[in-house]
Amino acid sequence: MEDEPLNLCVSDLIGAGGQWDVDKLQHLFPENEVKRILHLHVGNAPDRDIWVCSSHGSYTVKSGYEVASKMKETLVAQYRSVQPGVLELKRNIWKVPTIPKIRNFLWRAASGALAVAERLNTRGMNLDSRCNLCSNEVQSIDHVLFKCRTAQEAWMAAGFQPLPNFCSLSHVELLSSYLRLMPSESIPETKRRSISWIIWVIWKNWNMILYADIQESITFQIQQACEKARLWNEINTERRIPTVEQRLSGDKKRWEMPISGHAKCNIHANWRSAKLHSGVAYIVRDNRGNVLHHARDVITFSPNRFTAEIRCLAWALHSMKDQWEIAESIKRPKDWPHFPIILRKIGELCGPSRSVAFKTEYILSNQIAKEIARSVLCDDGRFNSYLALGAPAWLHQRILREATSNCS
C-alpha cells in the first residue's frame, strides 16, 4: 500500500460497507491503537476539526494558553538539561547540611524557579529586565545571588572572595562551585558550613529592599546567618539519629532460636493504605529451628499501620513487630487511650498462658513472617488465609538456612 497523506479524515478510514477499513488502520496505526479504534462506533456525522487539548473537543483560550506554556516550558527544560552539572547539582542539594527550607530554596534556584525579571519575562510579563538595585545588568538568578553589588558585599562580609571568572559563570555553575566549598577542609568549618545560609540571606535581603522597603546592615545579617548555621550544625551533630542501615549493622541481623523448652513466634502485619486491608502472619519455631505451625489471615479496615499491628498481635498473640511503641502500649495501656478495647483484649489473652514474653525483632531477622504476611493480599483483590502444621513449602530453604545459621 502506498504511503497515505498525514491529513486524512475519519471518513477516509471507513470502507465501502460503512465499517472501519481494517487494512488501512493496520497500515497507519500501532496494533494497540487499531484495537481501540475498532471498538469505536462508526457514525454518519460529517468530518470536522477537533481540538484535542480539551476534554470537550472545542478550543478555549485557557486550553490554548496551557499548550503554549507547556511548549515554552519544554524548550526551557531542554535548554537547562544540556547545561553541565544540573542534575548532579540538584541531587547534591538534598544532601546539603542545612534546614529543609533552605534546601528547597536552593533546588528552586538550580531549577530557575525564582521570581526575578529574567525568569518572569519568560512567562509573558514583559518587565524591565534590569536589576532594580544596581541598574547595570539583567536581573537574573546568578546576578541577584552572586554578581549584583549587594550580593558581592554580602560575600565579602562573610569572608569569601569572588570566584575566578565568576562573571562568565551561570547560576548553576556558581551554585555548584560554592556548595562544593562546604566539605572543603581548607576553609574554616564555621565559615564553610554557613554558605547555604548566606545564599538564603542574600535572597531575603534583596526581597526586603525591593518589596518591604526595609534595608538592614548586610554585615549584621551575615553575622546572624553564620551564628544560626553554627547553632544548627552543633545541635544536629549532637543529636544525629542513626540511619536504618546503621541500626541494622549490629549482630542481630539473623533470626535467633529461643531457649530450650520454649517456642518462638514471629509475626508480621502487612498493611496496605489504599484499601486499609492488612495481611497478618505468624510462624512458630522451637529451639532447634523446627517449624511447629504457621498461619496467615487478613484483617479488614485498619485505619493505620499501628492499628494493624496491634490487631495482628491480638489475633495471634505470638510475637512483636519491630516497633517499640507496641510493646510500650502493652506495658502501659493507660497511656494509649485510643486503643483501650484491643489492649484489654491482649491482656485477657495473655492471662491463661503460663509465660508470655514480648521481644523486639530486627527487620532482617523477621523476614519469614514478613513474607507469609505479604502473601495474604493478592494483587487481584483476593485473600489467602489458613492455619497449617509445619512450615510453608515455598519458604523451606530459607527457614532451613535460618535454623542452621544458629548452629554455626
Model confidence over 86-125: pLDDT tens digits?
A: 888 898 999 999 999 999 999 999 988 899 999 888 878 8
327 falls in which pLDDT band (50, 70, 90)? low
Whether this model's pTM surpasses 0.75: no
Point out which residues pair with 277 in neighbouring strands. Answer: 272
Q: How far apart are CA 128 and CA 17, in angstroms?
A: 64
| Best CA proximity match to 274, nearest among 294, 302, 297, 254 | 302
311 falls in which pLDDT band (50, 70, 90)? confident
Cβ neighbours of 116 (radius 10 Å): 24
Q: How far apart are CA 307 and CA 295, in angstroms?
A: 20
| Best CA proximity match to 166, nearest among 181, 154, 178 | 178
Q: What is the pLDDT of residue 324?
A: 45
The answer, yes or no, to whether residue 15 has pLDDT greater than 80, is yes
196 falls in which pLDDT band (50, 70, 90)? very high
Which range among 228-242, 340-354, 377-391 shows the weakest confidence by mean pLDDT?
377-391
Which phi and psi angles does 228 have, rounded to 5°?
A: -65, -40
Alpha carbon 172 to chain centroid, angstroms: 24
Q: How far apart are CA 237 and CA 376, in angstroms?
A: 43
Distances (CA, A) of 17 to 13, 48, 370, 385, 393: 12, 21, 60, 55, 60
Mean of per-residue pLDDT scores for the chain: 79
Q: What domains sit in the chain, N to C, each tagged with a CATH number?
A: 86-238 (no CATH), 264-405 (3.30.420.10)
Q: What is the pLDDT of residue 397?
A: 78
Which stretch of DSSP H or E encloses residue 297?
strand 291-299
Side-by-side strand order, sheet with 386-389: 264-272, 277-285, 291-299, 386-389
| Best CA proximity match to 401, nearest among 364, 358, 374 | 364
Q: Which three cell numbers stand for residue 171?
A: 547560576
Percent of the chain scoring above 70 in pLDDT = 74
The answer, yes or no, to whether residue 219 has pLDDT greater than 80, is yes
Higher pLDDT, 357 or 331: 357
